[in-house]
Chains A and B, each alone.
Chain A
Amino acid sequence: MKYADEFRDKAIALGLARAIRSEANPQRSYRFMEFCGGHTHAISRYGLEDILPKNVRMIHGPGCPVCVLPAGRIDMAIRLADRPEVILCVYGDLMRVPGSQGASLLKAKARGADVRMVYSTVDAIRIAEENPEQEVVFFAIGFETTTPPTAILIRRAEKKQLENFSVVCNHVRTPPAMQNILESPDTRSIRRVEIDGFVGPAHVSIIIGTEPYEVFAEEFGKPVVISGFEPLDMMQAILMLVRQVNENRNEVENQYSRAVTRDGNPRAKEEVSNIFELRDQFEWRGLGLVPYSGLKLKQTYARFDAEVRFALNELRVPDNPACECGAILRGVKKPVDCKLFGTVCTPETPVGSCMVSSEGACAAHWTYGRFRDRQQKRAS
């Protein structure tokens, strides 16, 4: 397959693996967090851990927008979908995300709620036009990558003067979450984990550019390498991180230069800032309340804001106390350290955020990597 196979070449991968092995100092360990779920998925699907040296460890971060959506927001979506006049449009992988007490949109749909899986925001507009008697609500989720399409969606709804269309905005921002991880008591004062560097987001950075990560290099002293989602991208980014660590450099480097610039996409950024504004705080499953990490619709567009239109309140639902997602998302613990992992918490019945989507740290380990636990046990 053109434009994909070139980035999955085994010979080049093994060459990069050799370079990482020869350059990584055997006297120390390297712990790099890949923020994005797309990276986590690539690591698991291509078995990257098997070709990296043992002292280079990848920590799977919170960059899966489905995983980090808190139960309270899911409950809100379900309450909305249960209203007889509402057609709720969602991206597919949101359907199985657990709300409180095992509720999910998939179950609500089975019960009779009109929940439609859409592949594009355009579908949501079409459904609104086809059902003028119904209230059509688009449940918007995602990082900076999916925010511009939602902004354009609202523009279109405005242009078409749709009276029956609104959006629940759950869009979140990457840099505040990275900051939260670095500043959390777990990672800072207890110092149980030290993250030596970040594999920075691919698609998110196409929009926001590399500039917003400079603070992590300058103020937190952490190297950041923006990386594409293909496995060779990741291998190269890891090599670049190893080199930064070895040379005591803390810089933002751009491995994904075929798509990412320092400034990102100015039109997309402008459109987002025209329509959205910052929330004071937004809850992340696993991380808790993170200041300035979420977006909401500006007052000017309040008529398209489903939270205003339906007077929705988000009720905070505490995470299961035995769930270690918070610690796993910060790299303090591994999935196997959680006693729920693989017992009550599996991809069929996820308890915590990391098990929800295949991009979550626990689901990725369960689905692709759990044979390694046995190999390790046998080896020890």
Chain B
Amino acid sequence: MRAHQRKLDIKHGCVDLSHGSGGRAMSQLISGLFHEAFGNEWLARGNDQSAFDVGAGRMVMTTDGYVVSPLFFPGGNIGSLAVHGTVNDIAMAGARPLYLSASFIIEEGFRFSDLKMIADSMGEAAQSAGVHIITGDTKVVERGKADGLFISTAGVGLVPEGLDLSAENARVGDRVLISGTLGDHGVAIMSKRQNLAFETEIVSDSAALHDLVARMVAAGGRGIRLMRDPTRGGLAATLNEIAQQSELGFSLQEEAIPVKPGVAAACELLGLDPLYVANEGKLVAIVSPDVAGAVLAAMRAHPLSRDAADIGEAVPDDHHFVQMATSFGGGRIVDWLSGEQLPRIC
């Protein structure tokens, strides 16, 4: 006889320790909430792992943890972010993302309604990106042991034949392209932090970039040396990383770098520099000068990168500095961020 089980009370209920104990409650949470949100044939089979066919060619794999605070922010939430972030890490290899895994560490007392909203937006983000979340895990920890919810996603993708995007491909004279305005995500998050809340119309740019990448690859082919998504540490960290790895320097034009007025104003007020603020739906591409025009045109034709810009070039430099001609007419270094970017007080 099948034991009676009360339905999950999504509206009023919350996660308790039994939802992580491997018993019936956990099974109910997984099937009633996660499977519903992610619904696909792999999860429906209920195995501890999922099998899938591998196409011919090179695969890429990546993993990322998401601990964003607050969990909900203008333009998304931790769930959509956990899909977009991992999809983008795959896409930066020029690859087509295929499958994701998702692992949840949930704090006791976390509301079902919030969890459902997050799982649903993960499902939607995955669906619109054309990827499937095919395996997962749920753990519940005691109150105070996690900041509400942590999500970890891993993903695999398939690289098109002949494409090998990597920092060592960069050459002197290559152009630096950016897919749009900088700092939107970081400012949207900061505007909702409890001790900092300010009013802004800026929303996170969180988005999956693989379609844009495919168009860029179609336009630029092997002239595209490498791509990165400037997340934590912003454009500054990403370009310094590339400079180190490619053993080159970069020379940027501040005037060419797109920043929304609302982001510029928030940064001005908080004493931050948009070059160091996180993005979740932007990419930097280092491309050979002969295809730069075509790639930029392809970017501007895509809805996610209407504001794409050519912001500078790779230069020979033993010190691997990222330098910038300021809009004021002087020069400066755009250095690594030291520590966290903290607001100045006066």
Say whether A347 contacts B195, CB under 8 Å: no
Say whether B327 contacts A10, CB under 8 Å: yes
Contacts of B326 in A (CB 8 A): 45-47
CA distance A10 to B253 in the complex (A): 13
Partner of B332, one of A38, A44, A92, A93: A44
Contacts of B327 in A (CB 8 A): 8, 10
Say whether A49 contacts B344, CB under 8 Å: no
Residue A142, interface by CB 8 Å: yes
Stretch at the interface among B26-34, B157-165, B211-219, B335-343: B335-343
Say whether B268 contacts A119, CB under 8 Å: no
A contact residues vs B (CB 8 Å cutoff): 1, 4, 8, 10, 13-14, 17, 37-38, 41, 44-51, 65-66, 91-93, 95-96, 106, 116-119, 123, 141-143, 145-146, 203, 231, 346-348, 357-359, 366-372, 374
Main secondary structure of the interface of B (DSSP, over half): loop
Given A123-B195, A371-B321, A1 and B345 contact (CB-CB distance below 8 Å): no
CA distance A317 to B338 in the complex (A): 25
Partner of B328, one of A38, A231, A366, A367: A231
Residue of B nearest to A41 (CB): B344
Partner of A51, one of B265, B329, B332: B329
Residue B196, interface by CB 8 Å: yes
Residue B264, interface by CB 8 Å: yes
Contacts of A44 in B (CB 8 A): 332
Say whether A66 contacts B345, CB under 8 Å: yes
Residue B146, interface by CB 8 Å: no
Interface size class, chain B: 20 to 34
Interchain nearest-CB distance for A54 vs B (Å):
14
Contacts of A65 in B (CB 8 A): 345-346
Q: Can you report 27 residue pairs joining A to B where beta carbons are below 8 Å apart?
A: A1-B264, A4-B268, A10-B327, A13-B328, A14-B329, A37-B346, A47-B331, A50-B329, A51-B330, A66-B345, A91-B343, A91-B345, A92-B345, A93-B344, A93-B345, A123-B195, A141-B345, A142-B345, A142-B346, A346-B338, A348-B339, A357-B344, A358-B344, A367-B335, A370-B333, A371-B319, A371-B323
How many A-B residue contacts, CB cutoff 8 Å? 101
Residue B261, interface by CB 8 Å: yes
CA distance A145 to B346 in the complex (A): 7
Contacts of A95 in B (CB 8 A): 342
Say whether A143 contacts B328, CB under 8 Å: no
B contact residues vs A (CB 8 Å cutoff): 195-196, 261, 264-265, 268, 273, 319, 321, 323, 325-333, 335, 338-339, 342-346
Residue of B nearest to A146 (CB): B346
Say whether A374 contacts B319, CB under 8 Å: yes
Interchain nearest-CB distance for B340 vs A (Å):
8
A-B residue pairs, 4 tightest by C-beta:
A47-B330, A347-B338, A92-B342, A50-B330
CA distance A118 to B193 in the complex (A): 12
Say whether A10 contacts B344, CB under 8 Å: no
Interchain nearest-CB distance for B126 vs A (Å):
35
Partner of A49, one of B265, B330, B339: B330
